Structure 1
Amino acid sequence: MIETSTAARRSAELEELISVRPNDFRVLTGDRPTGLLHLGHYFGTLHNRVRLQRLGVELLVIVADYQVLTDRDVAERLDEHVQNLMLDYLVAGIDPQRATIFTHSAVAALNQLLLPFLSLVSVAELSRNPTVKDEINHSRRSAA
């Protein structure tokens, strides 16, 4: 018999709790508006967001527009990318009547928390993060 990992056990426990009392749960999730979403996004996260929303979990979806301001390929068409991301959310089934969808730039408190949170993470820790590594590699390529 294969031993179930701690993460898998915890996921099963959470699924059970959600099925019984979905209103006790709140999910904060989101995406950077860097372009159109694709099937990978759908099967990777969007499908589960819609599933949780339908179960009754409170869903908060952030469009992380401030996170792409320094991205040369995105910043000049940011409004278009934000609008397309919102449309992709709607097409995927995220219901604005049941979920809260908002941009990072619309919530001043998020920016007020930025400096304290940034001071909690060292440059060495950031450099080990795969997402940060990928962003650094992409920015070096576009700068060349």
Structure 2
Amino acid sequence: MTSLEITTARSDRLRDDIAENPSRYRVLTGERPTGPMHLGHYFGTLAVRVRLHQRDVDTFIILADYQVIADRDAIGEVRDNVFSAVLDYLAASIDPQLATIFTHSAIPALNQLVLPFLSLVTEAE
């Protein structure tokens, strides 16, 4: 069985279990605020976040502003891009009373977790 097939089967099992037991799950997701969001963001990730959020899955959304430092071309717009992303989340039905939306820079201890988190997820996942 390939890595993709294993990941797909696991995703199917998770989707079914989340539908039955949403309170058992907590999601940490997010993106690098390098520019305005577009339809690709919505269909690729945001719609899934909204669906999980509306099923009462505990949702944490990180705007990885520290990671944008590596993109020297986008660094000047980080603040505006963070603000724009939050507005997009609100427009897509993410309720800030129920979800936690935050920037990487607001939690300095996250720098210690970056490598372990990156080590937990495969390319296919």
Shorter-normalised TM-score: what interval? Answer: 0.7 to 0.9
Runs of at least 5 residues in structure 2 that lack an aligned partner in the other structure = none
In 2: Cα distance, 1:66 partner to 1:7 partner: 29
**Corresponding position of 1:76:** 76
Q: Note if contact 1:74-1:81 (Cα within 8 Å) is conserved in structure 2.
A: no
Instruction: Give the 5 Å matches for 1:105-124.
Output: 105-114=105-114, 117=115
In 2: Cα distance, 1:79 partner to 1:89 partner: 16
Structure label with greater radius of gyration: 1
- Please state how far the C-alpha of 1:67 moved relative to its aligned partner: 0.5
**Corresponding position of 1:67:** 67
- Tell me which stretches of 4 or more aligned residues in structure 1 moved more than 4 Å: none
Which one has a larger percent helix, Structure 1 or Structure 2? Answer: 1
- Higher relative contact order, structure no. (Cα contacts within 8 Å, ≥ 6 residues apart): 2
- Secondary structure of the equivalent of 1:33? coil
In 2: Cα distance, 1:12 partner to 1:77 partner: 38
Instruction: Give the 5 Å matches for 1:1-144.
Output: 5-114=5-114, 117=115
Kindly report the root-mean-square deviation, in angstroms, between the aligned alpha carbons of the 2 structures: 2.0
**Corresponding position of 1:142:** none
**Matched-pair identity in %:** 53
> Are the structure 2 counterparts of residues 6 and 101 from structure 1 closer, same or farther at C-alpha, using a change threshold of 3 Å?
same
Runs of at least 5 residues in structure 1 that lack an aligned partner in the other structure = 122-128, 130-144
- Please state how far the C-alpha of 1:33 moved relative to its aligned partner: 0.5
Count of aligned pairs: 115
- TM-score (structure 1 length as normaliser): 0.72
In 1: Cα distance, 2:69 partner to 2:8 partner: 37
